[in-house]
Amino acid sequence: MSALNGGVLANRFERRGPTIQAALDLLALARQGLAEAATTVVSTDRYAAAHLAALRSAAAVLAARARPVDRGSRRRGPRSVWALLPEVAPELGEWAAYFAAGARKRAAADAGLSSAVTTREADDLLRDVDTFLGLVEVTLGLPHQPLAPGAAVG
């Protein structure tokens, strides 16, 4: 992420400095992961890398927007990013449901099951994650730079 992007986000959320840097770092990792996924030939690897980029994008929103929960009202047990995202950014709720539905495929792809995803599914997810990352960046007040058309596989 450039200093300009960090400045834009930091200006929007001035009082939360460390979380802003965490959000920017997560977005940078998401963008890097998406670019790597675009150049990966193996469908399962491409799917897993793209899904991880989506996860990091969602985590950036949580880092930028989430507020600490009062210990008295805290729920028991861990919750996934996909369960938390609609609470923090309702406008991204459908995306959260979509990526949550793909979590099992990602786990199978991570496990190396070659039949876990098709080339088409990996390519579709790659494009969807690029769109999602753009929405996250816009949601956080950052400019979006789409994945270069030549970088997309398929």
Instruction: Return d(Cα 111, Cα 91) in angstroms, integer.
Output: 32
Is this prediction's pTM over 0.85?
no
User: In terms of Cα–Cα distance, which of 31, 19, 40 is closest to 88?
Assistant: 19
Domain-located, residue 39: no
Task: Identify the domain containing residue 61 by its residue range.
Answer: 44-66+80-145
Domain-located, residue 150: no
Domain-located, residue 4: no
Domain-located, residue 75: no
Domain-located, residue 100: yes
Number of domains in the chain: 1
Domain-located, residue 108: yes
The per-residue pLDDT for range 15-61, each reduced to its tens digit, is: 456 678 899 999 999 999 999 999 999 999 999 999 999 999 999 99
Q: Are 106 and 117 in contact (CB under 8 A)?
A: no
Domain-located, residue 91: yes
